[in-house]
Amino acid sequence: MTTTVTTHAPVSRTAPGIPETVAAARAFFDSGATRPLGDRVRNLHALRALLTENETAFEEALWDDLHKGPAEAQLTEISVTLAEIRHTLRHLRRWARPKRGPVPAVLLPAKARLVPEPLGVVLVIAPWNYPLQLLMNPLVGVLAAGNTAVLKPSELAPATSALIARLVPRYFPDGEVRVVEGGVEETTELLAQRFDHIVFTGSGSIGRIVMRAAAEHLTPVTLELGGKSPVWFDDDARLRAAARRLAWAKFTNAGQTCVAPDYVMTTPDRVPALAAALRTAIGELWGPDPRATRDYGRIVSERHFDRLVGLLDSVDPSDVAAGGTHDRAERYLAPTVVTVPAGADGPVIGPDAAHPLLRDEIFGPVLPIVAVASAEEAVKVVNSWDKPLALYVFTSSSRTRRLFEQGTSSGAVVHDAGLVHVAAAGLPFGGVGPSGMGAYHGAYSWRSFTHLKPVLTKPLAPDTLRLAQPPFPTFALRL
Ligand code: NAD
């Protein structure tokens, strides 16, 4: 199939209200224009063109919003979305083909097919930390499945939000993809509308608001939430190499990553060596002064900066093993490692934890190291609190890997690395319990944004259904 991407430009529309926006998306869906496979493929090419033809503009916007350097912007925002498009284009035809469905012998003769159909209008609400990827990656699946979309980028990444709002009408016909910019007020109005599915990425507290609003319309939701993602750093882990990977996973995007390692557990003897190895790794990755490099981000807002510095202020300075410096004018907070002193009674993590860094998701460049007696004890710590979005294990022992895989529950487990599972388009991405519900990426997006409709045909003759109809025989019929 040859695919041409139409550029719908220039556009000069007066901004419509939110109900009109959703109505336009519904009218476009009802027109049937998104259903043919060729149109879905064309949409994916359009999205790819939107990204590739405006790469520099996206890099600049991400720099403005988060001080995200061009290499990191490429790696964690643009190319990961392009990879998702590539993966989807490669498999879409197979996913979209109706499959034969099984029919039990008791219903024969009959035939069944599983026919995928789009859901309708899908609302995608994104956070600010990966403001491009976390809006566009769900969109890939939404469009591939033949839906129309209303996108709500984060108001805390205003440059990226404005750029997306400006570009989308140039690449998609009006109504197929609409962008609504804004914060709480606009999102609240959006959530009052009826959608056929909502994909929300953000915090658990706002996730609850979204789910309550969705319940009014019985709209299904995919909730991509956060939480405290733990790390077990075993005595047998290769200290230097593993610490480097851990530091990279933690301090990329200045720690503002939903799957960032939130706290690291290791044995008491290992704490000083791990702290030193992390200090070395930070120096190798971002140099002696991370503030001076283009490769280290900034805290998104003064509110989040103050929250993080407040947490640090409550830490004994002698427990700061690396970093700790900050500058409010720049919203700069150095990659920081804190050792958590032993001895306090009560839970290690959770709202009642003794140490302030172990109560809520940190969502910034501060990594506490917690001394835990053994891997078995670490499993108990993980299980004592909400199921996390990701769990990372650094060990060379397959027994220890199995211990965490089988003994804990989390959105994902990654051995000897952090973050990288997000880039595996063939794997489901999502949380479990308080870290989220539903999953997306690749075939899992397709499944989440498609209704798989069984179509069963039962010929009138021979009429075997007579056996299931009254008057019933005296013996009991069993299926
Ligand atoms: P957030 O929940 O504050 O905001 C997310 C979105 O919700 C934004 O678009 C915002 O405009 C909207 N919103 C905010 N308040 C609202 C309200 N009262 N009513 C309706 N909508 C509202 O999240 P955030 O601060 O942007 O992101 C940080 C959180 O997101 C962290 O908990 C992080 O772990 C999580 N997160 C999860 C993933 C994932 O893929 N699972 C990815 C990134 C971030």
pLDDT at 14: 47
Assembly ipTM: 0.94
Tell me which of 152, 187, 435, 448 to substitute to probe ligand 1's pocket, judged by most ligand atoms within 8 Å of the beta carbon: 187
Q: Whose CA is nearest to atom 23 of ligand 1?
A: 202
Q: Which residues of 116-141 are buried (b: 16+ CB within 10 A; e: fewer)?
A: bebbbbbbbbbbbbbbbbbbbbbbbb
**Once rounded to an integer, what is the mean pLDDT over residues 313-326?**
97
Could you report the per-residue pLDDT of 341-359, keeping only the tens digit for each? 987 788 999 999 999 999 9
Could you report the per-residue pLDDT of 266-275, keeping only the tens digit for each? 999 999 999 9
Q: How buried is 423 (Cβ within 10 angstroms: 0-12 exposed, 13-18 middle, 19+ buried)?
A: middle
pLDDT at 343: 72
Q: Is 181 a known active-site residue?
A: no
List 59, 176, 224, 361, catalytic entry: 224
**Once rounded to an integer, what is the mean pLDDT over residues 158-163?**
98
CB 170 within 8 A of CB 10: yes
Phi, psi of 463 (to 5 degrees): -90, 75
pLDDT at 11: 43
Residue 12 scores a pLDDT above 60 = no
Could you report the per-residue pLDDT of 201-211, keeping only the tens digit for each? 999 999 999 99
CB 253 within 8 A of CB 76: yes
Instruction: Give 10's pLDDT tier (boundaries 50, 70, 90).
Output: very low
Q: Is 20 a known active-site residue?
A: no
**Once rounded to an integer, what is the mean pLDDT over residues 110-119?**
97
**408 vs 324, 390, 401, CA distance in Å?**
32, 11, 11
Q: Kindly give the distance from the C-alpha atom of residue 163 to the centroid of ligand 1, in angstroms, as a whole number.
A: 20
Residue 114 scores a pLDDT above 90 = yes
Q: Whose CA is nearest to atom 16 of ligand 1?
A: 184
Instruction: Give 468's pLDDT tier (boundaries 50, 70, 90).
Output: confident
- The pTM of the full predicted model, rounded to 2 decimals, is 0.94
Q: Residues lining ligand 1, CB < 6 A?
A: 125-129, 134, 152, 154-155, 183-184, 187-188, 201-203, 206, 209, 224-226, 258, 361, 363, 389, 431, 436
pLDDT at 473: 75
Could you report the per-residue pLDDT of 271-311, keeping only the tens digit for each? 999 999 999 999 999 999 999 999 999 999 999 999 999 99
CB 428 within 8 A of CB 224: no
Residue 106 scores a pLDDT above 80 = yes
List 59, 77, 176, 258, catalytic entry: 258
pLDDT at 475: 72
Instruction: Give 165's pLDDT tier (boundaries 50, 70, 90).
Output: very high
Q: Of all atoms in ligand 1, which is nearest to the CA of residue 125?
A: 9
User: What is the rounded average pLDDT for all residues in the chain?
Assistant: 95
Q: Of all atoms in ligand 1, which is nearest to the CA of residue 202?
A: 30
Q: Of all atoms in ligand 1, which is nearest to the CA of residue 152?
A: 9
- Token code pair at residue 187: 């999102």
Q: Whose CA is nearest to atom 34 of ligand 1?
A: 226
Residue 133 scores a pLDDT above 70 = yes
Tell me which of 129, 134, 209 to substitute to probe ligand 1's pocket, judged by most ligand atoms within 8 Å of the beta carbon: 129
Q: Kindly give the distance from the C-alpha atom of residue 202 to the centroid of ligand 1, in angstroms, as a whole number.
A: 3
**Once rounded to an integer, what is the mean pLDDT over residues 83-105?**
97
Q: Whose CA is nearest to atom 39 of ligand 1?
A: 224
**Once rounded to an integer, what is the mean pLDDT over residues 153-164?**
98
Q: Of all atoms in ligand 1, which is nearest to the CA of residue 156?
A: 26
Higher pLDDT, 88 or 471: 88
Q: Whose CA is nearest to atom 6 of ligand 1?
A: 127
**Closest C-alpha among 384, 385, 406 to residue 393:** 406
Q: Kindly give the distance from the C-alpha atom of residue 106 to the centroid of ligand 1, in angstroms, as a whole number.
A: 50
**Once rounded to an integer, what is the mean pLDDT over residues 178-207?**
97
CB 171 within 8 A of CB 50: yes
Instruction: Give 7's pLDDT tier (boundaries 50, 70, 90).
Output: low
Q: Kindly give the distance from the C-alpha atom of residue 133 to the centroid of ligand 1, in angstroms, as a whole number.
A: 14
Residue 4 scores a pLDDT above 50 = no
For 3-7, 99-103, 351-355, 419-423, which range has the lowest pLDDT when averaged over its residues? 3-7
Q: Kindly give the distance from the C-alpha atom of residue 127 to the centroid of ligand 1, in angstroms, as a whole number.
A: 5
Could you report the per-residue pLDDT of 387-443, keeping only the tens digit for each? 999 999 999 999 999 999 999 999 999 999 999 999 999 999 999 999 999 999 999
For 4-18, 172-186, 296-310, 441-455, which range has the lowest pLDDT when averaged over its residues? 4-18
Residue with tokens 């939404």: 142
Q: Kindly give the distance from the C-alpha atom of residue 156 to the centroid of ligand 1, in angstroms, as a whole number.
A: 10
Q: Kindly give the distance from the C-alpha atom of residue 244 to the centroid of ligand 1, in angstroms, as a whole number.
A: 29
pLDDT at 1: 38
